Amino acid sequence: MSAPNSEYDPVEVTPLRADEVERARDAALSAIAAAATLEELKQVRIDHVGDRSPLALANREIGALPPQARKETGQRVGQARGAINQALAARTDELEAVEEEGALVTETVDVTLPWDVAPIGARHPLTTIQEHVGDIFVAMGWEVAEGPEVEAEWLNFDALNLGPDHPARTMQDTFWVSPEKAAMVLRTHTSPVQARTMLTRTPPIYVVCPGRVFRTDELDATHSPVFHQVEGLAVDEGLSMAHLKGTLDHLAQAIYGGDMTTRFRPSYFPFTEPSAEMDLLCYVCHNEPDAVAECRTCRGEGWVEWGGCGVVNPRVLIACGIDPERYSGFAFGIGLDRTITSRYDIADLRDLFDGDIRFTEPFGVEL
Amino acid sequence: MRVPVEWLRELVTLPDGVTTEQLAARLTSFDLKLEEVIGGGEVVGPLVVGRVLSLAKEDQKNGRTINWCRVDVGADHNDADGGRGIVCGAHNFVEGDLVVVSLPGAVLPGGFAIAARKTYGHVSDGMICSGAELGIGGDASGIIVLPPGDAEVGDDAIELLGLGSEVLDLEVNPDRAYALSLRGVARDTALAYGLDFTDPADIEVTGKGDGYPIRVDDSDACPVFAARAVTGFDPTRPTPRWMAQRVEQAGMRSISLAVDVTNYVMLEIGHPIHGYDRTKLRGPIVVRRANEGEELTTLDGVVRSLSTGDTVITDDRGPIGLAGVMGGEETELSASTTDVLIEAAHWKAPMIARTARLHKLPSEASKRYERGVDPELPARATQRVAELLVEHGGGVIEDGLTVVGTAPEHAPVVAPIELPSLVSGVEIDAPSVVEALEGNGCEVALDHGTLTVTPPSWRFDINDPYDLAEEVLRVVGYDKVPSVLPSAPAGRGLTTTQQLRRRVGLVLAGDGLVEVKTFPFAGPADWQRLGLPADDPRRHQVMLENSLSAEEPGLTTTLLTGLLKALVLNVGRGHHDVRIVETGRVFEPRAGDPEAPIYGVDRRPTAEEFAALEAALPAQPQHVGLVMTGDAERPGWGTAGRPVTWADAIAIVQHVAEVLHVGLVVEQAQRAPWHPGRCAAFVLGGVTIGHAGELHPRVLKAYGLPPRVVAAEFDLDALIAAAPEVGPRPDFSAYPVAKEDLALVVDERLPAATVRAALLGASDLIESVRLFDVYVGEQVPDGKKSLAYALRLRAPDRTLTDADIKAARDAAVAATAAIGASLRT
Ligand SMILES: [Zn+2]
């Protein structure tokens, strides 16, 4: 870079002449406009903005100008370079956009190609329904109780007012553990869990007991030696059959929706007095006059059998150490297998237990 | 209990227009639940009584002989020649017999329409019917021949045979023993409709003085024993049609007049009756406990070996009847019996229940006795039977009536008048309570708000105050119970165990496993297939007295029994990729075959007693089991896929443990049914809680499964018990990471887990260790393998210097050298 020279005639420095600067700028701008690719634009940048470009070279001469000329010339060159840089940036954006668009088009895939290489798991509906019912009761402040499946005879029967000679005991089709004097059974209901709860806690008691139970029924389309129940037990001061009905109505509504209800028919269970069979309003036809006659779910009854229930027999309270003068309770039991088969219109109960993955898969992880 | 509606309506005059359906619904709401309505309108007429006027036997080309008959079917139905021509293939009738004829237009059960048709060269203008054709049973090869005088020609046979009558099949709960009789059902029907009824047990007993000599030594079992004799009875006389019909409609067989009468009276008033051929009795009747080893051949021809738990009826020869259950063969009523001794005894329910159970001999009598029979009835029952026998079979009722003992009395039940309201939640006023109880036959006294209720002799279920509530509510109506949601106190939600179990279930589903529910039954055949050694403790099962299958005599000790059966089913149904899992209990017997105690029910067992009961029960831990076959990753357009391997099974168990924050140690193991070289044990605090890996090829062959099936099973209870209440604190450094790779040559049998542990322990700076390659081959010596690890180094408090990194690497090399590793060069 030469030092300022007072002898130097700016008019004679050709590159800094206004027309030259203008020409260089226009040449650059048209080259920029003409660049069709980022690659071409890169060359344009080298040619017109790079260190060896006319305007870069011209810019170097400015310092040599006399001070009075420097400002005007500097402005002229600076404006030209500014215009070029702006145009470059704009053209870069344009070309980048075009190229990206092109790239995206070529990268387009068929998103309908299946990516089904990973196996998908599922939970059995008998598991999820037990959890679902548990949640409904937990939301009301109840707790979920559990117990063993091989149970003491005393807890499965005697404590529940089913003495050794009780006719209902022979009706239970019980699996007995060998030898018979071991006095153990496969529990025929989840009621011994209720007894266990009463034996180990003091009222107020509000528990539900979901679980697997056993009867000596041969497996066929409508019977199974292994099935599932959820039972509920409440023991508190002042409980009556009305509270039982309220609880069951709430459960029906929580599972099946707003307008559901239950009805009671008298029945007999040794552990409750009074006892009732409980029917659920048919969740398909809702016993509507124009739908009920055709309804397959309830076979035109308008109601479906749902389970048994009643007021806890004071004899059971006594065996479990609860004062029947002070406390009363209610209990209910609902068959879950039938709840599943009837709700999902499953004709053969064996489908629940033979383990074909196509039975469980549609359920996913929630009912 | 099968109740012929016509019989019921005879005892209760129902309001006009009450249909059978309405009656059944009302009884159902009264705790007599309708199972079904049997019969009624299956046969559509004309079905009439006819007399065979003439009968010509004609041989046919097909070898059969038919009867070409003229039958008089009454003026309304006869043709111009005063009869009808009918072809009949049966041969059990002769000219002059009364028969049942279905005429053209009739429809028989099964929709069989009768029309005049050409057959065997005649036009048969109707059909002579057999019992089978009318749906009332009997031999199909013979037609019905009515006894002379039973009917007139032209009578409507539908009515005569009771074909139009309906029978209610009612489910009678064990507490309503009285409803195993028309008497009881009629009483409840009357109560339900607010009507009076005719009590068929309202019988005047005429006997006086002593009859047949009877002694009751076992009065605990037999509080009342009554006996009455009828002599000169004609055993050839038939049972009147109406009686046979009622007996059969009620589900029993009509056998002979004498037997039918005893059954009829049992159905009518609910008291079982036994009849003896008096001429076969030897000496006085004595009721006593059986001697051990005494024998009795019962009516069904079976020789029963008796024990001191049985009560028997004896004469001089020994036992002649098993009390309340079944009579003996030697003294039974026969076709030649002319002298009948009628026994009506009141047996105590528990004794009958035990005997019927012990001898596996449930009978119509035992069914009633074990639920409870009205003890006021014995003398009346004998009277009724005697009268019916004489009325239909002739002979005389002897004057002598033996009655030993008296009916036990019912203790009154005392309860506050409000109790039914409190229990049911329905407001019931005092007069309604009293009326309802009286309607049930109770004697009721109300004094200053206290009810004193004496139940009637036929009720055995009214012993407690709450029992009164049920009887009152039944009358008031269960549909009156209001719906009131109780408010439970604040609960504690699900227990930690319950929450974790759910979490494990979701993790397993997330790992691509499909949950199944199998049965927990297993047996030696399963142990054989699984290849369990002879001394394997898993062969020691909890056995069942009454298993459903001889192949599966007890409860399983491993979930793999059920899972492998389910896998076989899935593979058999053409599924290639199957990953199934089950969470359930296995059953491990306690040593010493403990017996679970049986306590009284008058108080709560003590804590020690309850603990003793718990200790006798088998251990029943919840396990998770899983089996997998096929591809872990299916081949697709972007991947070659990958078959499931032993490592997947191990990884799933480890995944579950990680989610629960439990550190499981994996060790090489050998355990059936796994491949001896491809089985991992999971160790928790020194205790093995599960196994995973590939199954033994022999096991897969035994099950007929494809090769390389993998499986895992672990004790979920143990894993959850080890889960910390709070997970680990997040602890990490923000300083930069340094990465070092290390290839180590080690003995082929050195577990990778050992190398990993050595690396992790070598320096505090080693943040993580990841094995990224395992190599066995030419480039390493025989018997060696190369393990390539990526180490990540980081300090909690500074950026690592080159010297730090070198020091850490050197430490790692040194630590692995100590277990025999050398750097691969
Ligand atoms: Zn419906």
DSSP of B367-418, one letter per residue? HHHHH---TT-HHHHHHHHHHHHHHHH--EEEEEEEEES-PPPPPPEEEETT
Residue B501, pLDDT > 80, answer yes
Per-residue burial over B444-464, b if 16 or more Cβ lie within 10 Å, else e, is beeeeeebebbbebbbbbbeb
- pLDDT value at A259 more than 90: no
Tokens of B98: 């009364």
Rounded CA-CA distance B640/B632 in Å is: 11
Q: How many beta carbons lie within 10 A of that of residue B543, not counting itself?
A: 16
Q: What tokens does B739 get? A: 């990465």
Separation of A288 CA from ligand 1 center, angstroms? Answer: 8
Question: B222 near B325, Cβ under 8 Å?
Answer: no
ipTM of the shown complex: 0.86
**pLDDT reported for residue A69:** 79
Q: What is the pLDDT of residues A320-333, one digit of tens each?
A: 999 999 999 999 99
Q: How far A106 CA lies from chain B's nearest CA (Å)?
A: 18
Q: How far does the CA of residue A246 sit from the closest CA of chain B (Å)?
A: 4
Mutating which of B466, B540, B541 best tests the A interface, going by the most A Cβ atoms within 10 A? B466
| Burial of residue A202, with CB atoms counted within 10 A of its CB: 0-12 exposed, 13-18 middle, 19 or more buried | exposed
Answer yes or no: are the C-beta atoms of A331 and A271 closer than 8 Å: yes
Query: Which pLDDT tens digit goes with each residue over B251-277?
Result: 888 888 999 999 999 999 999 999 999
Give the span between the Cα atoms of A78 and A58, in whole angstroms: 10
Half-sphere exposure of B550 (CA within 13 A, CB side): 0
Q: Are B117 and B102 in contact (CB under 8 A)?
A: no
The answer to whether B599 contacts A176, with C-beta atoms less than 8 Å apart, is no
Q: Which amino acid is at B411?
A: A
In this prediction, residues B294-308 reach a mean pLDDT of 90
What is the pLDDT at residue B108?
84
Using DSSP, state whether A286 is helix, strand or coil.
coil
Distance CA B557, CA B620 (A): 9
Put simply, the chain A residues between 213 and 232 with a CB less than 8 A from any chain B CB are 216, 218-219, 225-226
Q: Does pLDDT of B158 surpass 90?
A: no
Q: Which residues have C-beta within 8 Å of that of residue B327, sequence separation ≥ 6? A: B274, B276, B298, B299, B320, B321
Stretch among A117-131, B200-214, B374-388, B525-539 having the lowest mean pLDDT: B200-214
Determine the residue of chain A that is closest to B370 in CA distance: A167
pLDDT of residue A9: 53
Whether the predicted pLDDT of A240 surpasses 50: yes
pLDDT at site B493: 95
How much is the pLDDT for B448?
A: 94
Instruction: Give the integer Cα–Cα distance in Å for A267 and A262.
Output: 15
- Rounded Cα gap, residues B232 and B235, in angstroms: 9
How many angstroms separate the CA atoms of A305 and A309, rounded?
12
Q: What is the pLDDT of residues B692-702, one digit of tens each?
A: 999 999 999 99
Q: How far is the CA of A248 from the centre of ligand 1 (A)?
A: 19
Instruction: Read off the pLDDT of each residue in B74-84 and give the average, rounded to a whole number.
Output: 86
Q: Which among B309, B43, B23 is positioned nearest to B157, based on CA atoms?
A: B43
Task: Please state the rounded mean pLDDT for residues B804-808.
Answer: 96
Whole-number Å distance, alpha carbon A281 to ligand 1 midpoint, is 8
Record the tokens describing residue B719, joined without a space.
């894993």
Which pLDDT value is given to residue B284? 94
Pairwise CA distance, residues B786 & A339, whole Å: 58
Cis peptide leading into residue B46 (ω within 30°): yes
Task: Kindly identify which residue of chain A lies nearest to residue B367, measuring between CA atoms.
Answer: A167
Give the whole-angstrom CA distance, residue A190 versus residue A133: 15
Strand-strand pairing, A328-335 and A226-236: antiparallel
Q: What is the mean pLDDT of residues B605-617?
A: 94
**Which residues are found with C-beta within 5 Å of the ion, ligand 1?**
A 282, 284-285, 295, 297-298
Homologous superfamily of the A125-363 domain (CATH): Bira Bifunctional Protein; Domain 2 (3.30.930.10)
Indicate the SS3 state at residue B290.
coil
Distance from CA of A182 to the nearest CA of B (A): 4
**Which of B515, B554, B593 is the closest to A360 by Cβ?**
B515
Average pLDDT over residues B221-237: 93
Quick check: bond before B597 cis, omega within 30? no
Residue B809 pLDDT grade (very low, low, confident, very high; cuts 50, 70, 90): very high
Q: Are B310 and B323 in contact (CB under 8 A)?
A: yes
Domains and CATH numbers, chain B: 2-40+166-193 (3.30.56.10), 47-160 (2.40.50.140), 214-404 (3.50.40.10), 414-480 (3.30.56.10), 496-586+621-722 (3.30.930.10), 738-823 (3.30.70.380)
Contact: B616, A168; criterion CB under 8 Å: no
| A179 pLDDT more than 80 | yes
Does residue A168 carry a pLDDT above 80?
no
Per-residue pLDDT for A7 more than 70? no
DSSP per-residue codes, B57-105: EEE-TTS-EEEEEEEE--TTT--TTSSEEEEE---S--TT-EEEEEPTT
Cis peptide before A179 (omega within 30 of 0): yes
Residues 315-344 of A with CB under 8 A from B: 315, 318-322, 328
Q: Which of B171-180, B566-575, B639-648 is least confident?
A: B171-180
Q: Looking at residues B308-321, what average pLDDT do you find?
A: 92
Query: In the structure encoding, which two tokens stand for residue B747, read together?
Result: 């003995």
> What's the rounded Cα separation, in Å, for the pair B9 and B166?
11
Residue A10 pLDDT: 47
DSSP A176: B
Is the whole-model pTM more than 0.90? no
Q: CB atoms < 10 A from the CB of B493, how many? A: 15
Per-residue pLDDT, averaged over B182-204, amounts to 94
Q: What is the pLDDT of residue B427?
A: 96
Please, are residues B367 and B178 in contact by the beta-carbon 8 Å criterion?
Answer: no
Ligand 1 midpoint to CA B75 (Å): 51
**Hey, CA dihedral for B336, B340, B344, B349, is it positive or negative?**
negative
B259 Cα distance to chain centroid: 32
- Evaluate whether A171 touches B174 at the Cβ level (below 8 Å): yes
**What average pLDDT does range A294-314 have in this prediction?**
91
CA distance A300 to B804: 83
- Cα A288 to Cα B257: distance, rounded to the nearest angstrom: 52
Q: Do A356 and B569 touch (CB under 8 A)?
A: yes
pLDDT of residue B816: 96
Total residue length of chain A: 367
Answer with the residue of higher pLDDT: A257 or B544.
Answer: B544
Write the DSSP string, B186-207.
HHHHHHHHT-----TT------
Rounded to the nearest 10°, the torsion over CA B262, B263, B268, B271 is 70
Which chain A residues are closer than 8 Å to B419 by Cβ?
none
Query: What pLDDT, on a 0 to 100 scale, did the predictor assign at position A171?
Result: 66
Cα–Cα distance between A31 and B395 in angstroms, integer?
Answer: 139
Q: Is the pLDDT of residue B363 over 90?
A: no
Instruction: Output the pLDDT for position B450.
Output: 96
A156 touches B at CB < 8 Å: no
Measure the CA–CA gap between B733 and B505, rounded to whole angstroms: 34
Q: Strands, E, within chain A: which ranges?
A: 143-144, 150-152, 184-186, 205-214, 226-236, 262-269, 272-281, 303-312, 328-335
Three-state SS at A303: strand
Say if residues B222 and B33 touch (Cβ distance below 8 Å).
no
Q: Identify the band that residue A43 occupies on the pLDDT scale cut at 50, 70 and 90.
A: very high
- Alpha helices, DSSP H only, in B173-254? 182-193, 241-249
* Residue among B746, B741, B742, B818 nearest B786 (CA): B746
The per-residue pLDDT for B111 is 79
Task: For residue A328, give the amino acid letter.
Answer: S
Domain-wise residue ranges, chain A: 10-106, 125-363
pLDDT value for B575: 95
CA A343 – CA A335 distance, rounded (Å)? 12
Question: What is the average pLDDT score of chain B?
Answer: 92
Q: How far is CA B359 from CA B298, B302, B312, in A?
A: 11, 11, 13
B5 C-alpha to center of ligand 1: Å?
29
Contact B537, B589 (CB under 8 A): no
Nearest to B174 by CA among B421, B1, B429, B395: B1
- Strand, coil or helix: B712: strand
B115/A47 Cα distance (integer angstroms) = 115
Note the pLDDT of residue A1: 45
Q: Please report the pLDDT score of residue B137 as a whole number.
A: 60
What tens digit of pLDDT does each residue of A61-79 get?
888 888 877 888 888 888 9
- A237 Cβ partners below 8 Å, 6+ apart? A203, A204, A326, A327, A328
Strands A205-214 and A184-186: unpaired
- What pLDDT shows up at residue B796? 95
